[in-house]
Chain A
Amino acid sequence: MAEFLFEIGLEEIPARMIAGAEAELERRVVAMLERERLVSDDVATRSFATPRRLAVWVADVAEHQEDATEDLVGPSVKVAYKDGVPTAAAAAFAKKAGVAVESLKTVTTPKGEYLAAISIRQGRDASEVIAAELPKELAGIYWAKNMYWRAGRPERFVRPVRWMVALLGMKPVKVGFGGYEAGDVTYGHRVLFGEEPIRLKSPGEYEQALEKSFVVADVEVRRQRIRKALDKVTRTVPDLRWREDEALVETVTQLTEWPSVVLGGFEAEYLTLPEEVLVTVMRDHQKYFAVEDKERKLAPYFLAVLNTQTDEAGLEVIRHGNERVLRARFNDARFFWEFDQRISLKDRGELLKNVTFQKDLGSYAAKTERVRKLASGLAGLVLARGCELNPVALDEAALLAKTDLTSELVKEFTELQGVVGGLYARAQGFSAATADAIYDQYKPVSMEDSVPRTAEGAVLAIADKADTIAGMFGLGMEPTGSKDPFALRRAANGIVKILAETAVALPLTLAEVAAAACGQNEALAAKVRSFLAERLEFYLREARGQAYDVVKAVLAAGAEDVLDAVARAEAVTAVRGSDDFAAVSAAFKRMKNILSQAGDKGVAVGTRVDDLLLSEATEKALSERSAELAGQVATLRAEKNYTAALESIATLRPQVDAFFDAVMVMAPEAEVRANRLALLDRVLGDFSGIADFSEIVTAG
């Protein structure tokens, strides 16, 4: 057994692709070694990645494969022997199996007598196997964007390969890829260590050797160093803290081999620009962390993560350079902000006629009109149900929602669409309700993002998304498989998330949203509705962590009211652990099966339960008790007290168990049978309003 190390050195890999590739390389290398019988399935491994390298280390790799035996079946005996003499077919099979013709055996199969042999595959040296197999794994790694770089275009990869290390114990393994053959030489940090080759004696010294060459190869170690450095550098100014931003920490971790942090500042006058603009410039364009004061207000500082290490004088130079760039960027933003004020949002409405939303769906002016109508329809529904909402502010917001697309600031910082409109609306004297709704219209942009803060914002966001979905579905541009170029799933996820999480509960069903967006087109509305229902299922599983069977059970009992579905799912999850509930679920499943078999066989089911036909004590008990409980459960259900309702259903267990122990449902007498089936049907019907328990997976 020996340790194994593989490293591939590349020109800078795009930061966003590193984590996935690191994991995939590790997975592929280990799977290959397992397949080749060179490691056990619990072998210890580690992976490393920096912008210039991906690496994997494996603890115990056999230096030689064990021989393997394989049972082979060959041609039929009839073909293999003519008059007892082996034919060419027999010889070919013997050769393939690597045995002499005389030692071939025969086996009897349903199709007749066939030749058979036990072939022994000789184990090969691990280095030979790895050299042959690893290049295929490298070529198979997924990259969001590939390139060619060598003449003749022999391979595609994320960026040109610059070196490879493959060491099995102390010995290099001749893995060939990208015009290189792997050896024992790696390289350190571009600037701090230079082009000096680093010769590795063994896989185990990899991490340390790189550390000495100004490379932190372990991503997690690098991340923690960056976090610590951010803390430490921020503390040099009292009462400051850096604004947590996990995604940015990840990005800068993948942009550096030897990170350090510098604190820079900017003139306080820029703080008059909206915080959103400043933070976007810093985070998205410069990859700087924003800094805030004790009151969590933006402070005139920023933190830049460097890929180098320098002394105080060097740091001063770097700080100065970064400050210069940021100042220029802020100046630009201020220029755009002031420039944009020359045309009010109201006047920009006209300009939207020239901005295409989608070629068959018309301009943003046309979309604006559709969204206004849709939003006002939805507002009417929620108002009628007693929800508080300002319809005037909502309409104003819908009217102005897209006008910021014509502003210079949004053209420069597209990620600030909506936000800029909201800020301009506030600056131009519109009400907070209007401005906030515009500001929040694109929310939530992901499953992690928050939902609009107000009812007006929520309705506008739903209307905007539903209009896009309905429009695209109408053109037949539904998402298929992994293809969703218009991000319609994200839009639908957003609608579900808003309905589930908005602070002011919006009493709207998915069917109502779909119908409002699709007008008279019922077929389209049905499609959109089922698309939204799919996203509700996704939401319950992914965002709420509900088990697959619970989601199925709950949605089978109704997939329209999002809030209600969430509450029911949570209640089911809360009680599903109890023995009584599990037993009742299992019994319900049995009832459903019996009823469905009866249906298949055309056995009659009574239309109602006739008490006079109930002969056995246990069936009488079940009928009486379930009727009593049905009332209770209906009341609890109406109060949306789902957990209590479910607990109450679970108390039916003794009667259910006793019934199935003593009663044969499929009694010979047709009347009795039909009555018993009617009883089961009633029980199922009475208690399946919260969830279809027969979907719940129960042990045993």
Chain B
Amino acid sequence: MQAIGEKKAALTFQELLFTLQRFWADQGCVLQQPYDVEVGAGTMSPDTFLRVLGPKPVRIAYAQPSRRPADGRYGENPNRLFRHTQLQVILKPPPVRIQELYLESLTAIGIDLREHDIKFEEDNWEWPVGGAWGVGWQVMLDGLEITQFTYFQQCGGMDLDPICGEITYGLERIAGFLQDVDSIYDIVWAVEPDTGRKVTYGEMRLAEEEQFSAYSFDYADVTKLWEHLSLYEAECLNLLEQAKTFEEMDALKLKRFPVLGAYELALKCSHVFNLLDARGAISVTERVGVMARIRTLVVGVAKIYAAQGQQISELAKK
């Protein structure tokens, strides 16, 4: 059963990331560092969520640790994680050969497509809280979903033009596949060059999974979380309110207006909501209402981001 492992040395977790980043850098993508605020998916990083807006072409790639408190399993389930790593590739406008480029990236990480079964199966993506959706596929490799492939259609409730292509690799899944291990924690993250000692995913991350599962399920202080939510929300709403005066601002004040700060506050709310949800603190009746509150923030920020860009370019024309 070791056929895959023995045939060629499978990439380590970090080599997998290097290789994909190198591949997309060669395709003209700017490599960005992971965003440093908690997000549930790479899409929520401003490098995707905000950059897909507006007419400006973008090619960017970055790894994004993504936190989903409810998916935590105290490190006991070999396939589920509180925090997993996505490699996010944003191509706006999408190149004609986007699918072929994607398949070439698989070849680059050592997957000989002729030896595998690959399918693009319909899977449409939607983030109602962000007023965002797109159509696309889940890419299935020998029955394993390894990538989400999306053509963004709307974001912040606004139609996108040009459309943006988004490729999201599930790095743990792919590494597990390449290394043929049954548990994520057995993935080889790196190999020490002098000793050949293998550093595993478990060594690097198990404690985090254990403790953050415990935190989100058992320890997180529900009352304080609600307070956090209200505080972040209030500050974000305040900025959204001030953004109504864009037209009165001079160029300097306008470009320095912290839309990005407002977005971080909205993301904070989203993460706190996820924690409350994992903690079982949100009843079904409340749920709809809280989601609507966060939607107001996220969609509001997207709108002022677009408005700010528009206003800046109008001032530049004058």
Interface on A for B, CB 8 Å cutoff?
Answer: 11-12, 14-16, 51, 145, 147-153, 159-160, 162, 190-192, 195, 255-256, 286, 288, 304, 306-308, 310, 313-314, 316-318, 320-322, 324-328, 331-332, 335, 354-356, 363
Question: Are B182 and A190 interface neighbours, CB within 8 A?
Answer: no
Among B18-26, B39-47, B111-119, which stretch is in contact with chain A?
B111-119
Q: Which residue of A51, A145, A192, A355 contacts B284 across the interface (Cβ within 8 Å)?
A: A355
From A180, which residue of chain B is reached at the shortest CB distance? B96
Q: Taking each of A16, A51, A327, A328, which has the highest tally of chain B beta carbons within 10 Å of its own beta carbon?
A: A328
Q: A310-B114, A320-B1 are in contact. Are A325 and B144 (CB under 8 A)?
A: yes
Residue-wise, chain B 158-177 has the 8 Å CB interface mask toward A (1 for contact) of 01011100000000000001
A132 to B117, CA, bound (A): 40
Judge whether B284 and A335 touch: CB under 8 Å: no
Chain B residues contacting A190 (CB-CB under 8 Å) are 103, 118
The CA-CA distance from A12 to B135 in the complex, in Å, is 11
Expressed in whole angstroms, the Cα–Cα distance for A15 and B122 within the complex equals: 7
Interface residues of B in 276-293 (CB under 8 A from A): 283-285
Q: Is B77 in contact with A255, judged by CB distance below 8 angstroms?
A: no
Kindly list chain B residues whose C-beta atoms are within 8 Å of the C-beta of A153. Answer: 159, 161, 163
Chain B contacts with A in 33-84, Cβ cutoff 8 A: 77-80
Residues in chain B near residue A159, CB distance under 8 A: 135
B141 at the interface (CB under 8 A from A): yes
Tell me which residues from 137 to 156 in chain B have a Cβ below 8 Å from any Cβ of chain A.
137, 141-144, 151, 153
Distance in angstroms between the alpha carbons of A256 and B134 in the assembled complex = 24
- Which one, A14, A288, A331, contacts B79 given CB within 8 A? A331
* Interface check B180, CB cutoff 8 A: yes
Of the residues B77, B117, B177, contact of A335 by C-beta under 8 Å = B77
Would A286 and B163 be within 8 Å (CB), given that A11-B120, A328-B78 are in contact? no
* Seed contacts A195-B100, A307-B119, A314-B114; 11 additional CB < 8 Å A-B pairs: A150-B93, A153-B161, A191-B103, A191-B114, A310-B115, A317-B116, A320-B1, A320-B142, A321-B142, A321-B177, A327-B182
Q: How far is the CA of A203 from the CA of B177 in the complex (A)?
A: 43
Q: Which residues from A are CB-within-8-Å of B141?
A: 321
User: Contact: A307 with B117, CB < 8 Å?
Assistant: yes
* A149-B161 in contact (CB<8A): no
Residues of B within 8 A of A (CB): 1, 3-4, 77-80, 93-94, 96, 99-100, 103, 113-122, 124, 134-135, 137, 141-144, 151, 153, 159, 161-163, 177, 180, 182, 283-285
Chain B residue with the shortest CB-CB distance to A260? B117
Partner of A321, one of B113, B122, B143, B159: B143
Chain A residues with CB under 8 Å of B153's CB are 147-148
A179 nearest in chain B by CB position:
B96
Q: In whole angstroms, how far apart are the Cα atoms of A159 and B120 in the complex?
A: 12
Name the residue among B93, B142, B161 with the largest chain A CB count within 10 angstroms: B142
Flag if B161 contacts A191 (CB, 8 Å).
Answer: no
Q: What is the chain A residue whose CB lies nearest that of B137? A: A12
Q: Which residues of A contact B99 (CB under 8 A)?
A: 11
A12-B137, A317-B4 known; A152+B119 contact, CB < 8 A: no
Contacts of B114 in A (CB 8 A): 191-192, 308, 310, 314
In the bound complex, do residue A306 and residue B120 qualify as a contact, i.e. CB atoms below 8 Å apart?
no
Interface contact B120-A51, CB-CB below 8 Å = yes
Cross-chain contact A308 with B116 (CB below 8 angstroms): yes
Q: A321-B141, A324-B182 are in contact. Are A147 and B119 (CB under 8 A)?
A: no
Residue pairs across A and B with Cβ atoms less than 8 A apart, 5 shown, are A11-B120, A148-B153, A190-B103, A317-B116, A321-B141
Chain A residues, Cβ within 8 Å of B119: 12, 255-256, 307
A664 to chain B, nearest CB (A): 71
- B residues less than 8 Å from A51 (CB atoms): 120
Sorted nearest first, the 6 A-B pairs with minimum C-beta distance are A321-B142, A14-B122, A12-B120, A322-B143, A306-B117, A151-B162
Set of chain A residues within 8 Å of B4, measured between Cβ atoms: 317, 320-321
The winner among B122, B137, B159, B285 for most chain A CB atoms within 10 A is B122
CA distance A335 to B74 in the complex (A): 13
A354 adjacent to B120 (CB under 8 Å) = no
Q: A522 CB to closest chain B CB, in angstroms?
A: 32
The reply to whether A318 and B161 contact each other, CB–CB distance below 8 Å, is no
A321 touches B144 (CB 8 A): yes
Question: Which of chain B's residues have a CB closer than 8 A to the CB of A191?
Answer: 103, 113-114, 118
B124 touching A145, Cβ below 8 Å: yes
Kindly report which residue of chain A lies nearest to residue B282, judged by CB atoms.
A354
How far in angstroms is the closest Cβ of chain A from B19? 20
Is A149 a contact partner of B94 (Cβ separation < 8 A)? Answer: yes
Measured between C-beta atoms, what is the minimum distance from A477 to chain B in Å?
Answer: 18
Bound together, the chains give a CA A364 to CA B120 distance in angstroms of 38
Chain B residue with the shortest CB-CB distance to A251: B121
Task: Closest A residue to B92 by CB, please name it.
Answer: A151
A147 to B115, CA, bound (A): 32
Contacts of A14 in B (CB 8 A): 122
Residues on the B chain within 8 Å of A310, using CB: 114-115
Q: Are B117 and A318 closer than 8 Å at their CB atoms?
A: yes
A16, A149, A327: most-surrounded residue (chain B CB, <10 A): A149
Q: Which residue of A lies closest to B4 (CB)?
A: A317
CB proximity of A467 to chain B, nearest CB, Å: 19
CA distance A273 to B283 in the complex (A): 31
Contact A149 B120 (CB under 8 A): no
Q: Which residues of A contact B142 (CB under 8 A)?
A: 317-318, 320-322, 325
Residues on A with C-beta less than 8 A from B79 are: 328, 331-332
Q: Identify A354's interface contact among B121, B122, B159, B284, CB under 8 A.
A: B284
Contact indicator A307/B118 (Cβ below 8 Å): yes
Q: Which residues of B contact A304 (CB under 8 A)?
A: 117, 143
Bound-state CA distance A310–B161 (Å) is 42
Residue of B nearest to A317 (CB): B115
Shortest beta-carbon distance, B3 to chain A, in Å? Answer: 6
- Cα distance A354–B283 when bound, in Å? 6
Q: Are A332 and B77 in contact (CB under 8 A)?
A: yes
CB-defined contacts of B100 to chain A, threshold 8 Å? 195
Which residues does chain B contribute within 8 Å of A145, judged by CB atoms?
124, 135
CA distance A365 to B119 in the complex (A): 43
A99 to B4, CA, bound (A): 79
A185 to B100, CA, bound (A): 18
Contact B113 A148 (CB under 8 A): no
Provide the bound-state CA to CA distance between A304 and B120, in Å.
15
Complex CA distance for A458 and B159, rounded to whole angstroms: 48
Q: What residues of chain A lie closer than 8 Å to B124, measured between beta carbons?
A: 145
**Complex-state Cα separation, A51 to B139, whole angstroms:** 14
Residue of A nearest to B183 (CB): A328
Query: Looking across the interface, which residue of chain A has its beta carbon closest to that of B165?
Result: A149
Smallest CB gap from B184: residue in A: A328
**How far apart are B108's CB and chain A's nearest CB, in angstroms?**
15
> Complex Cα distance A313/B116, Å?
11
Residues of A within 8 A of B134 (CB): 147
Query: Which residue of chain A lies nearest to B284 when distances are taken between CB atoms in the complex?
Result: A356
Q: How far is the CA of A324 from the CA of B179 in the complex (A)?
A: 12
Residues in chain B near residue A150, CB distance under 8 A: 93, 162-163
Knowing A51-B120, A147-B135 are in contact, say whether A325-B143 is a contact too (CB < 8 A): yes
Chain A residue with Cβ nearest B141:
A321
Q: Are A149 and B78 in contact (CB under 8 A)?
A: no
Q: Which residue of B is nearest A355, CB measured?
A: B284
Find the A residue at minimum CB distance from B116.
A318
Cα A322 to Cα B161 in complex, Å, equals 39
Q: Within the complex, what minimum Cβ distance (angstroms) separates A251 from chain B? A: 9
Minimum CB–CB distance from B310 to chain A (whole Å) comes to 18
The chain A residue sitting closest to B283, CB to CB, is: A354
Q: Bound complex: CA of A326 vs CA of B145, how far in Å?
A: 12
**Given A149-B94, A322-B143, A328-B78, A314 and B115 contact (CB-CB distance below 8 Å):** yes
The complex places the Cα of A442 from the Cα of B103 at a distance, in Å, of 43
Residues of chain B within 8 A of A322, CB atoms compared = 142-143
* CB closest chain-B residue, reference A306: B117
